[in-house]
């Protein structure tokens, strides 16, 4: 009987091993990889946006990185140019991570951005407007680098904040434009009347 039981166990042992749950080590490895991906995501906020260390972008983003925008996709060069523009326009820009979740090679981040426009951007002077906006970013991270991105935030809300803070400047600018248009209209009217008078004088002489 003992020999028969031993034989059965010997034959069935491979099947039992295959049906056994995965070792805890593989689960720990998956969790560790997700934590590493979260750390990569945090570097974007802590080092690039908050500290302005744009030189580390090559360590964080893959060369074939793609940012999937609402209407078109952009590569790493254009994406990093946008990051530099935002940091230049608002030197005190602060990105705060609200919550972060990771599953597989995907990391989602809920963030809040706060900053003040104290630097000129192109031909626009600094406005002093304070901006606060919340958004969400989803990254696909593989081999320690960000490969793809999807970001969404309330763009209309940002515009509302700008209008609310700059309404008097905008009203003044609108009045100035109207005044210039009125002057141009008067000058064009005078020029037209002068040409009409000259034409009438020539016609009477003829």
Single pTM value for the model: 0.67
How far apart are the C-alpha atoms of 206 and 191, rounded to whole Å? Answer: 23
| H or E segment to which residue 167 belongs | helix 167-205
Q: What pLDDT does residue 7 have?
A: 41
How far apart are the C-alpha atoms of 131 and 166, rounded to whole Å? Answer: 12
How far apart are the C-alpha atoms of 84 and 87, rounded to whole Å? Answer: 5
Structure-derived torsion over alpha carbons of residues 183, 189, 194, 196, reported in degrees to the nearest 10: 170
**How far apart, in Å, are the Cα atoms of 198 and each of 4, 15, 93?**
126, 109, 62
How far apart are the C-alpha atoms of 141 and 100, rounded to whole Å? Answer: 14
- The tens place of each residue's pLDDT in the chain, 206 residues long, gives 545 444 444 444 445 444 445 455 665 666 789 999 999 999 999 999 999 999 999 999 999 999 999 899 999 999 999 999 999 999 999 999 999 999 999 999 999 999 999 998 777 788 889 999 999 999 999 999 999 999 999 988 888 888 887 755 656 666 677 767 877 877 787 777 777 666 666 666 65
Is residue 57 a contact partner of residue 44, using CB atoms and an 8 Å limit?
A: no
């Amino acid at each position: 009987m003992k020999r028969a039981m031993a034989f059965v166990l010997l034959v069935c042992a491979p099947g039992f091993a295959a049906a056994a749950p995965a070792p805890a080590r593989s689960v720990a490895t998956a969790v560790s990889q997700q934590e590493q991906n979260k750390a990569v995501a945090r570097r974007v906020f802590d080092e690039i946006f908050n500290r302005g260390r744009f030189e580390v972008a090559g360590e964080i983003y893959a060369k074939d990185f793609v940012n999937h925008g609402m209407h078109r996709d952009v590569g790493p060069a254009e994406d990093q140019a946008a990051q530099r523009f935002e940091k230049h326009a608002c030197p005190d820009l602060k990105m705060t991570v609200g919550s972060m979740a990771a599953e597989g090679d995907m990391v989602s981040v809920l963030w809040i951005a706060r900053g003040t426009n104290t630097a000129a951007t192109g031909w626009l002077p600094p406005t002093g407007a304070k901006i606060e906006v919340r958004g969400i970013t989803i990254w696909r991270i593989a081999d320690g680098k960000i490969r793809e991105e999807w970001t969404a935030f309330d763009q209309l809300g940002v515009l509302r904040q700008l209008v609310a803070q700059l309404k008097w400047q905008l009203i003044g600018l609108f009045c100035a434009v109207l005044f210039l248009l009125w002057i141009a209209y008067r000058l064009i009217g005078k020029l037209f009347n002068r040409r009409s008078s000259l034409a009438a004088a020539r016609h009477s002489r003829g």
